[in-house]
Structure 1
Amino acid sequence: MKTSKDYLRSSMDRVHLRQEVYRLYRLENLPLKDVMKKTGLGHGTVYQYLRTFEAENPELVVQMKKRKDVTPDDYKKLQAEIARLQSELKQEKLRADFYEEMVAFGKEVYGIDLKKAGTK
């Protein structure tokens, strides 16, 4: 005869199993056959667990979808993008410095304030 602890333990096991089924099928995109083999569940039970998990844990589903493991390839892409953005920033800083020098030179040599010249 099962005690209340046994029912609680089996209930917790089902909750963890539902989460694992959801992770395998929705997040890792494993085919249904592979999920069935790994969990030992039937195809109807897998779909029932998916529906139940999504209905009972909408916040957790959103968090699990947002969490994505960063692969080394993703890391390399981010490093390349950072390098590109840094070089663009250097170029824009040089451009801004050149503009400031041009304005100062125009005011010094020609007596024209270029900052005010375009605003009439």
Structure 2
Amino acid sequence: MAINGQITRTDDDALTGWIASLTFDVAITLTPNPHKTKDVHPDYEITGKSPAGRYIRIGSAWEQTSRAGKDYLSLSIKVNGQDVRVNALRTDEDPEGEYRLVPLAG
């Protein structure tokens, strides 16, 4: 599935951005998970807006570190009945606090 997107860290430790494909285009917000009590629990809750403008939880995100020592976010999002898995990555050329969304192979 062709997926594109971007998120940007805000001053209040949240992230805002978008994720899109040929069948959906959703504005998303990632906020720290207030219910996290174990390491395996998600670090962030992901919300989107319904067509009526209501905020609903559509996924979760975890902070990860690659084998090369680079920090990234692993996102799991439910959009249009599909489970969408993407990683939010930064390169040295990306502006501070900005991440590109890259779909997982598979």
Q: Which has the larger radius of gyration?
A: 1
Same fold? TM cut 0.5: no
Structure having the higher strand fraction is 2
Query: How does the TM-score come out when normalised to structure 1?
Result: 0.19
Q: What TM-score do the two structures reach when normalised by structure 2? A: 0.20
More helix by share: 1
